[in-house]
Amino acid sequence: MKKLTIFSLLVIVLASGLYYSKLLIERAEGTSGADVFHLYNWGDYIDPELLDRFEEETGYQVIYETFDSNEAMYTKVKQGGTGYDLIVPSEYMIERLMEEALVVPLDHTKIEGLEHIDEEFLDLNFDPGNQYSIPYFWGTLGIAYNEELLEKAPTSWEDLYDPKYENSILMIDGAREVIGIGLQTSGYSLNSKDIDELETAADKLVSLAPNIKALVADEIKMFMIQEEAALAVTYSGEAADMMWENEAIVYVLPEEGSNLWFDNMVIPHTVQNEAAAYAFINFMLDPEVAAQNADYIGYSTPNKTAMQYLPEETTQDEQFYPSQEMIDNLEVYEDLGLEYTGVYNDLFLEFKMLK
């Protein structure tokens, strides 16, 4: 497979960014009121063709903005100076948004296609009865590695602490993820609020620091594809993109367990065009639309009907569609509350200072 140079990739990324910015400006010009739909989503988290199709089918003009963390999204929505009609947060953040009345209850009489969602992704603890949210994507946190650059494949978080991996690991830049690794390799819950457990996890991470090549976000895909590192702690969809571009990359769920996450669509209190928000929810619930989005993005779809439109090699891959036995070994992030969110962030900053 032909590989791009880092310079070429950076040029492509820059050009794409400039094009995307131009597209947003063009979409924003001359739009107002009932004709506009403001979507606030993660970066690179929807097939652009679907945005065009949604505009063509509904007549709404999409203003698409992105965030890089749940916390950044939360801050912006809480400030209320935005006009977002739909946002796509993760489960623990949905809990917080609900508690603070920053999202509005859904009118299920306006939702079409919910029957396509697998029951396993409905009525979950963070939103009983799906009163506020509709499933969008789900996935896991795990280890991506290049089998051509390693003598032995890693199978656990504990393997990452091996001194032979010095300066070899790309780590996702997130407090919950990093502190979570320390917690799970110490035998504790990802949602621990025990100070002694958290300090033990932080101490454990000290020995991992020398093995970290860099703490990165979206760039992690590019660096792994280009073989700038042998291993990466990343999310399943990011790993799928890496594997598509570089056949030597493999994704594995750690033996100790890991994070099982859910990203859902919710209507924030800032909504200006509720009709457009429901139209988009219904659009994304269409099985063929959901399948196209999953195939493009690489994350797992909760839409059971969409599975028939996806390649069997994808739907049968247990690293991306885990068995129930594997899922039972995973843990969902819970909202920690402001106090313990601060504790996790402080411990994470201490870890970053070791680099």
State the pTM of this model.
0.85
Amino acid 27: pLDDT: 47
Domains of the chain: 6-138+262-315 (3.40.190.10), 139-260+321-353 (3.40.190.10)
| Residue 7 CA from chain centroid, whole number | 26
Amino acid 125: pLDDT: 94
Question: Rounded distance, CA 230 to CA 5, Å?
Answer: 17
What the block records as the tokens of 164 is: 């032979």
Query: Three-state secondary structure along the chain?
Result: CCCCCHHHHHHHHHHHHHHHHHHHHHHHCCCCHHHEEEEEEECCCCCHHHHHHHHHHHCCEEEEEEECCHHHHHHHHHHCCCCCCEECCEHHHHHHHHHCCCECCCCHHHCCCHHHECHHHCCCCCCHHHCCEEEEEEEEEEEEEECCCCCCCCCCCHHHHCHHHCCCEEEECCHHHHHHHHHHCCCCCCCCCCHHHHHHHHHHHHCCHHHEEEEECCHHHHHHHCCCCCEEEEEHHHHHHHHHHCCCEEEECCCCCEEEEEEEEECECCCCCHHHHHHHHHHHHCHHHHHHHHHHHCCECCECHHHHHCCHHHHCCCCCCCCHHHHCCEECCCCCHHHHHHHHHHHHHHHHHCC
Amino acid 33: pLDDT: 57
Contact between 165 and 207 under an 8 Å Cβ cutoff? The reply is no
Question: Rounded distance, CA 50 to CA 142, Å?
Answer: 28
Report CA dihedral (96, 102, 106, 107) to the nearest 10 degrees: 150
CB contact set of 20 (below 8 Å; sequence gap of 6+):
none
Report the residue count for the chain: 355
Amino acid 4: pLDDT: 38
In terms of C-beta density within 10 A (0-12 exposed, 13-18 middle, 19 or more buried), how is residue 156 classed? middle
Q: What is the pLDDT along the chain (355 residues), one digit of tens a residue?
A: 333 344 343 433 444 444 444 444 444 444 445 799 999 999 889 999 999 999 999 999 999 999 988 999 999 999 987 899 999 999 999 999 999 999 999 999 999 999 999 999 999 999 999 999 999 999 999 999 999 999 999 999 999 999 999 999 999 999 999 999 999 999 999 999 999 999 999 999 999 999 999 999 878 999 999 999 999 999 999 999 999 999 999 999 999 999 999 999 999 999 999 999 999 999 999 999 999 999 999 999 999 999 999 999 999 998 899 998 999 999 999 999 999 999 999 999 999 999 7
